[in-house]
Amino acid sequence: MPDIHALAARLDEAVRTATAIPQLTDETAISLDEAYAVQAAGVEIREQRGDAVVGVKLGFTSQAKAEQMGVSDVIIGVIHQSMAVDDGGSTDVTALVHPRIEPEVAFLLGVDVDPSDDDSDILAATTHVAPALEIIDSRYRDFTFSLEDVVADNTSAAGFVLGPWQPFDQARAGLDLAALDVVLSVDGTEAARGSSADILGDPVLALAAVKRMAAQHGISLPAGSVVLAGAATAAIPLGAGVEVRAELGSLGSVSVHTE
Ligand code: OOG
């Protein structure tokens, strides 16, 4: 039986010192359930530091991402207050190991969702939708990992930027959320292109996936939670001194500067 807390502490130290570490599974066999337990122990370490949980994220919801990383199952992770960066704001990437950035769709839950209650309707609980950017930063050497390693590492979560929220009902009525052109650009030059359909065929389907996975892995979904639906394109390396923008058709755009 692996020492769950010791593994979480090792990953936490890798974050705090911006140092890549070998994959946990190089040394210790861990099951997927144990990997989620390591993730939860890491969440607790950050909460004890006063870093509140503000939502959840999915990973590997797109073919492009799954192919890029060689891992295909959808995974769930947790995002914290300290990871939030304002739209158009600036973030210091020199404190990260080897950051990457990817364009996403974000949702906002207006009421509590009970993941294990069949009658708790996550679609009905969703009040807003926004374009988003996610910064990921694997704590493992060479950004290489097994499914268990990346789950233990809180799905490489490192930062997120939310664009302007639109009311979910109006957005669903007025635009096809499953057919948004997605363009990721760096200093005005296109770096990746895709479609919101690349996220599970329709990013709205991410909501049901979040509820199912939250139930499986004991993650709660209180009112006010942000849900990141997963990347629409492969992630691109994120250096210092650039402006990154994601445009998601008529859903709008979101940008961040790095230092
Ligand atoms: C894992 C996180 C993947 C996504 O949107 O697919 C992810 C990684 O690639 O490091 O967030």
**Residue 250 to residue 69: CA distance in whole angstroms:** 29
Residue 73 reports pLDDT greater than 90: no
Regarding the beta carbon of 154 and ligand 1, being less than 6 Å apart is answered no
Q: Is the CB of 150 under 6 A from ligand 1?
A: yes
65 close to ligand 1 (CB < 6 Angstrom): yes
Residue 82 confidence class, pLDDT cut points 50, 70, 90? very high
ipTM for this model: 0.96
| Contacts (Cβ under 8 Å, ≥6 apart) of 94 | 240, 259
CATH number at residue 112: 3.90.850.10
The residue segments making up the domain with residue 135 are: 4-258
Please check the confidence at residue 67 and state whether its pLDDT lies above 90.
no
pLDDT tens sequence across 143-181: 999 999 999 999 999 999 999 999 999 999 999 999 999
Q: How many domains does the chain have?
A: 1
Mean pLDDT of 65-71: 85
For residue 72, pLDDT beyond 80: no
User: What is the rounded distance in angstroms from the CA atom of residue 206 to the CA atom of residue 77?
Assistant: 13
pLDDT reported for residue 79: 98
Q: How many CB atoms lie within 10 A of CB 11?
A: 22
Ligand 1, atom 4: closest residue by C-alpha: 59
Determine if ligand 1 sits within 6 Å of the CB of residue 231.
yes
Q: Is the CB of 155 under 6 A from ligand 1?
A: yes
- Asked if 39 contacts 151 with a C-beta cutoff of 8 angstroms, the reply is yes
Tell me, what amino acid is at 236? I
Cβ of residue 135 lying under 6 Å from some atom of ligand 1: no
pLDDT for res 41: 98
The whole-number pLDDT of residue 232 equals 94
Q: When comparing pLDDT for 28 and 112, which is higher?
A: 112
| Residue-level pLDDT at 23 | 98
Q: What is the rounded CA–CA span in Å between residue 103 and residue 132? A: 6
Q: What are phi and psi of 170, to 5 degrees?
A: -65, -40
Q: What is the pLDDT of residues 203-234, one digit of tens each?
A: 999 999 999 999 999 999 999 999 999 999 99
Report how far ligand 1's centroid is from the alpha carbon of 248 (Å): 19
Mean pLDDT of 34-55: 98
- Cα-based distances in Å from 206 to 36, 44, 61, 62, 91: 19, 25, 8, 11, 27
111 CA from centroid of ligand 1 (Å)? 27
Q: How far is the C-alpha of 189 from the C-alpha of 244, rounded, in Å?
A: 9
Q: Which atom of ligand 1 is closest in space to residue 228's alpha carbon?
A: 5
